[in-house]
């Protein structure tokens, strides 16, 4: 049946992989599952095409060259927008603090409490997609690395230009599971090795050593790795675990799975209509998935297929990127839309 099925799948955009629709168990009921991942529930998703790998610097550069797009990290922050995401009465920062930039991982010199992310995250003026680690850094020679320091708004802008969209959270998890049912990781149930033997490459780009102060770089990478550096999952998708977090279309609610759990499989869920996180009640968030090169079992095991978090849609960081999808019903108008964008304006 498989060969006959694939012969009837229409060709998708270049660089995409067909993800056959189906019903699967979303979330987790494992003992180590976080409350945000519970309960496991049945979901049915229609087939779609997904980028085989995360959007790269080279691909994003073509978008910027074609459109002149300026990312959020390249713009001075707007205090009127920022104050909507902080407790009422928060004083306005000094103008010297309202400068363009992004969040950059800055490892401490030694062990620190893991309940204070301020120990290893810094807002770095001048950090953006062209300067991933801040001024002085560059993407020269990194064309095939995932673009980072792009916020949700930037990812949506690229997707529209490409005639695609961001995946729903349900589409992302179906794709990450690679055709397996109930697997903990994109490749199956085998946990990543705690240590890599000499010459061993690993299953995903995650942290080796002691987080966040000592990275042994056993896999050869301190930060992001070039796309397709690790084995693909069962659908032929690369880096659905580790490397960089990926934006999804959905708003993030910590209680979303509890709100929608039922005995009936949900059909193509689109996520909640608004964000909710009681630990950060003023900041709206969008879903991010897949974990990153900073994930380590002692702190963040978010390279699991069920793991989910939220990120501020207007904030870029050095460990977050994205990939796009397109549905069969969208393929023709999407391609026509991109063709129109690429044509010179009539005089």
Each residue's pLDDT tens digit, 98-129: 899 999 999 999 999 999 999 999 999 999 99
Q: Is residue 347 included in any domain, yes or no?
A: no
In 10 A of CB 216, how many CB atoms?
12
User: How many angstroms separate the first and last alpha carbons of the chain?
Assistant: 53
Q: Is residue 11 part of a domain?
A: yes
* Structural domain count, the chain: 1
DSSP state of 95: G
Answer whether residue 58 is part of any domain. yes
**Within a domain: residue 171?**
yes
Predicted TM-score (pTM) of the model is 0.91
Q: What is the CATH classification number for the domain harbouring 266?
A: 3.90.1580.10
Tens digit of pLDDT for each residue in 21-31?
999 999 999 98
Q: What is the reported pLDDT for 336? A: 52
Question: By percentage, how much of the chain surpasses pLDDT 90?
Answer: 78
Residue range 292-311: mean pLDDT, rounded: 95
For the residues of 144-200, what is the DSSP string, one character each? TSBP-S--HHHHHHHHHHTT-BPPPHHHHHHHHHTT-SS-SBTTBSPPPPSSPPTT-
Q: Is residue 300 in some structural domain?
A: yes
Domain presence at residue 346:
no
What does the alpha-carbon distance between residue 178 and residue 232 come to, in Å, rounded to a whole number?
9
Per-residue pLDDT, averaged over 25-45, amounts to 94
pLDDT above 90 (res 5) = no
Look at the block and give the residue holding tokens 């080796």: 208
Task: Kindly state whether residue 294 falls inside one of the protein's structural domains.
Answer: yes
Q: Which of 228, 170, 147, 231 is nearest to 19 (CA)?
A: 170
In this prediction, residue 90 carries a pLDDT of 78
Q: Residue 164 sits in which domain range?
A: 2-341
Whether residue 206 is contained in a domain is answered as yes
Phi and psi angles of residue 97, each rounded to the nearest 5 degrees, phi first: -90, -15
* pLDDT digit string, tens, across residues 157-187: 999 999 999 999 999 999 999 999 999 999 9
In the predicted model, is pLDDT for residue 345 greater than 90?
no
């Amino acid at each position: 049946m498989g060969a006959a099925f694939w012969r009837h799948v229409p060709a998708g955009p270049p660089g995409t992989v067909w993800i056959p629709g189906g019903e699967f168990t979303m979330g987790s009921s494992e003992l180590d599952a976080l409350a945000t991942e519970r309960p496991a529930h049945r979901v049915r998703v229609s087939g779609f095409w997904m980028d085989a790998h995360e959007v790269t610097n080279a691909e994003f550069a073509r978008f910027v060259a074609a459109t002149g797009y300026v990312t959020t990290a390249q713009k001075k922050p707007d205090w009127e927008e920022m104050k909507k995401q902080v407790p009422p009465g928060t004083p306005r920062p000094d103008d010297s603090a309202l400068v363009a930039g992004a969040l950059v991982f800055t490892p401490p010199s030694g062990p620190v409490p893991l309940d204070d992310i301020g120990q290893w995250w810094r807002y770095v003026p001048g950090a953006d997609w062209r300067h991933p680690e801040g001024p002085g850094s560059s993407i020269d020679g990194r064309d095939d690395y995932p673009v980072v320091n792009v916020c949700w708004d930037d990812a949506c802008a690229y997707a529209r230009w490409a005639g695609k969209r961001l995946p729903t959270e349900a589409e992302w998890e179906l794709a990450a599971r690679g055709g397996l049912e109930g697997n903990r990781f994109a490749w199956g149930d085998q946990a990543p090795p705690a240590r890599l033997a000499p010459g061993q490459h690993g299953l995903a780009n995650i942290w080796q050593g002691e987080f966040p102060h000592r990275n042994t770089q056993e896999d050869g990478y301190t930060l992001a790795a070039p796309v397709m550096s690790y084995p693909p999952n069962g659908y032929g998708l690369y880096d659905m675990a580790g490397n960089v977090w990926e934006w999804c279309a959905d708003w993030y609610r910590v209680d979303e799975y509890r709100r929608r759990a039922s005995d009936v499989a949900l059909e193509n869920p689109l996520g909640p209509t608004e964000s909710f996180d009681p630990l950060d009640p003023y900041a709206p968030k969008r879903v991010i998935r897949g974990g990153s090169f900073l994930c380590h079992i002692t702190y963040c095991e978010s390279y699991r297929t069920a793991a989910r978090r939220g990120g501020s849609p207007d904030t870029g960081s050095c460990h977050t990127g994205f990939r796009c999808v397109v549905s069969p019903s969208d393929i023709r108008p999407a391609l026509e839309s991109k063709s129109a964008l690429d044509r010179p304006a009539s005089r």
